[in-house]
Amino acid sequence: MNSTRDKVKERRHSNCVNGTCKEISAGRSMEGKVLVLYTGGTIGMIRNENQALVPFPNVFVKKLRLYPHMHDREYAEETYGPMGPLVLPVSENNSRRVVYSVIEYSPLCDSSNMTMDDWIRIAKDIKQSYEYFDGFIVLHGTDTLSYTASALSYMLEALGKIVIVTGSQVPIFEARSDGMDNFLTSLIIAANYSIPEVCVFFNKKLMRGNRTIKTAASSFEAFDSPNFPPLAKAEINIEVNYRLIFRPCNIEKFNVHSSLNRNVGLLRLFPGITSDLIKAFFQSPIEGVVLQTYGAGNVPANRKDIMDEFRAATERGVIIVNVTQCNSGTVSSLYEPAKLLEDAGVIMGFDLTPEAALTKLAYVLSKKDWSIEMKKDSIQINLRGELSNGKVSTIQDLDLVEAVASSLRISSAKELQELGSILFPAMLNAAVLRRDVKKLESLKRCGADISQQNADGRTALHIACREGDLKIVQSLLKMGASVHIQDRFGRTPLTEAIENDHHEIIKILLQCGAHLHEYACLIGEKMCVAAATGSVRRLKSFQIAGADLSVTNLIGMTPLHFAAIYDKLSVAIFLLENGANASITDKTNCTPFDLAVMTKSNRVLEHLRAYE
């Protein structure tokens, strides 16, 4: 099987027909690209001759192409050719066309067969294709889906794009299935919304992945997020509660932590549990255990024998995390027995689900350069929104929008949200223009989504990158502003920084995971224009942003060809000193040297001689 990277490259190239990138046709910036990793599960299963559900390889995509609501064949073939990606038809809810590619895993598996290796594979596949897509979907069996979502949430560090894990209770190709809605809505959300989290979408709810548990084996409402409200609800409209979105607030680039510690386990207490069983459970090589206790974190206070086993284990360096057996709620030191556990070195896992606690242990314990104290501390720190450790936010008290709303006599939640989406972008943008960091911070505290888009889809970060104030850009990034949002014209904050030549800002955006998102030939066009007009500074902007200085435009010309035609010596020197290839021929078979001869560009000609 080809590697994912090869497939993605193939897919990108198949978008270029006869050397002409069709991406430049009108409206193409309004496409949202989604990569679907199809790992198996009921969603794609088909009944075999014994009526048992089994996954069949190589049928999923073929069948999807036949469903008009999953694939707009006419548009797709006209735009990408017959072997191109799948494309959703336009609908009310998706302002952007959803173009999606499916990578089918081999073998496809029932999720009860999944192991940590599968989580690592998924994480690595996302990393390989990260720059080419706006969002990712993992199609997965439901049985262990919450474990995978929780594990991915930790492994995908400084995630800047949405990852949705979904599946179904009934196969998508059966007449009455939840699969179609789960998949279709996930595609629309992944292509259209800036939610940099690993989510689970199921039965109309988008939930934080590491907060979910599978609660029902035979209901369409198979998942719940008992300790945290849904991030979005997909009814007639998709309503996102932006205040709940957990955004990474560090200047840090997306990275995949691709190792996990397998010496972890889950132990559920029950009345009369023997100390022999506990002793056996804690034998080496175990390094981390999630202990599911009663109610708010209780253990039998009269069982010194089992407390001694816990203490012996923690003294050997085993990390034991206390979580509740109840479906919802948190452990606390409210009752005496919970205190006994703390004395035995067991740490509180607050309201972590067992799945989130186990995968967190596997993640934290695999951090080779962290001390045991750091590992214990990070179990109790909120890394990806997976736990609430008792601090209650005071956002509600300060809510500015609510204050305005009450003076306007607005009360419905929908109107309130609409008011916020009108007020906040304008206020954020004004604060950016006034270079007022304090104002930005207070708006965030008042409930503003720092990445909220205005009517043109532009965010405060777009404006700040155009203005060129490094301090404001830094502040916005530390407040969690997304570097990936494209406005209605397909421009990202990085486009603004490049086209205004703010080099330091380009660098910091890259440190936060920003990348060039346009097709190479379009970037080539812009760089050729820069070369023709003698703008070394602009070429430098592109270079810092990671562009290839030998990139070609639509007719195969490089910036050096243009420097030659227009006799731009400083451009030619810059390009050549930075490794541009002088021997590329354009569509008319000319090198930059040939063109310099033809146009009598003597200064550049002299310089190019050395490279002939």
Distance of closest approach, residue 178 Cβ to ligand ASN, in angstroms: 9
134, 143, 501, 525: which one binds ligand ASN (CB under 6 A)? 143
Q: In degrees rounded to 5, what are phi and psi of residue 12?
A: -65, -40
Contact 479, 249 (CB under 8 A): yes
**Under the criterion CB under 6 A, does residue 110 sit at the interface with ligand ASN?**
yes
Q: Is the CB of residue 214 less than 8 Å from the CB of residue 146? A: yes
Q: Shortest Cβ distance from residue 114 to ligand ASN (Å)?
A: 8
User: In the set 8, 21, 33, 42, which binds ligand ASN (CB under 6 A)?
Assistant: 42
Least distance to ligand ASN from the beta carbon of 138, Å?
12
Q: Select 39 or 194, whichever has its Cβ closest to ligand ASN.
A: 39
Report strand pairing: 31-40 vs 238-240.
Answer: unpaired
Region from 141-149, 223-231, 316-324, 472-480 binding ligand ASN, contact rule CB under 6 A:
141-149
Find, among 574, 577, 580, 593, the residue nearest to 551 by Cα. 580
In the bound state with ligand ASN, the residue whose beta carbon lies nearer, of 113 and 389, is 113
Residue 185's nearest CA partner among 216, 217, 247, 230 is 230
Residue 202 or 254 with smaller CB distance to ligand ASN = 202
CB of 137 to ligand ASN, least distance (A): 15
Distances (CA, A) of 571 to 494, 521, 535, 564, 576: 23, 20, 7, 9, 9
Closer residue to ligand ASN, CB minimum distance, 123 or 222: 222
Residue 43: CB minimum distance to ligand ASN, A: 6
**Which three-class secondary structure state does DSSP give residue 552?**
coil
b/e 586-602 (16+ beta carbons within 10 angstroms → b):
beeebbbbbbbeeeebe
From the list 108-116, 175-183, 282-290, 604-612, the region that binds ligand ASN by CB under 6 A is 108-116
Q: Which of 539, 20, 575, 538 has its CA nearest to residue 583?
A: 575
Q: Which stretch binds ligand ASN (CB under 6 A): 7-15, 72-80, 110-118, 468-476?
A: 110-118
Q: How many residues bind ligand ASN (CB under 6 A)?
A: 10
User: Between 177 and 194, whose beta carbon lies closer to ligand ASN?
Assistant: 177
Give Dmax (Cα) for the chain: 96
Q: Does 41 bind ligand ASN (CB under 6 A)?
A: yes
Residue among 160, 167, 425, 493 that touches ligand ASN (CB under 6 A)? 167
Window 458 to 497, contacts with ligand ASN (CB under 6 A): none
Q: Are the C-beta atoms of residues 196 and 248 closer than 8 Å to each other?
A: yes
* Cβ neighbours around 214 below 10 Å, total: 18
One-letter amino acid of 527:
M
Cα 543 to Cα 528: distance, rounded to the nearest angstrom? 13
To ligand ASN, the closest distance from the beta carbon of 172 in angstroms equals 11
In angstroms, give the least distance from the CB of 111 to ligand ASN.
3
Output the smallest distance, CB 223 to ligand ASN, in A.
11
Q: Which of 84, 135, 141, 513 binds ligand ASN (CB under 6 A)?
A: 141
Q: Which is nearer to ligand ASN, 219 or 382 (CB)?
A: 219
| Euclidean distance between CA atoms 427 and 448, whole angstroms | 9
DSSP annotation of 59 reads: -
Q: Is position 219 an interface residue for ligand ASN (rule: CB under 6 A)? A: no
Q: Segment 495-554, which members bind ligand ASN (CB under 6 A)? A: none
The whole-angstrom separation of Cα 556 and Cα 244 is: 47
Query: Looking at 4, 94, 101, 111, which residue binds ligand ASN (CB under 6 A)?
Result: 111
Evaluate whether 206 touches 244 at the Cβ level (below 8 Å).
Answer: no
From the candidates 4, 39, 42, 79, give the one annotated as an active-site residue: 42
Pairing of strands 264-268, 288-293: parallel
Q: What are the counts of helices (DSSP H) followed by strands (DSSP E) for the chain?
A: 25, 21
Known active-site residue 42: yes
**Nearest residue to ligand ASN, by Cβ distance, number only:** 141
Residues that bind ligand ASN (CB under 6 A): 41-42, 110-112, 141-143, 167, 169
The set of catalytic residues is: 42
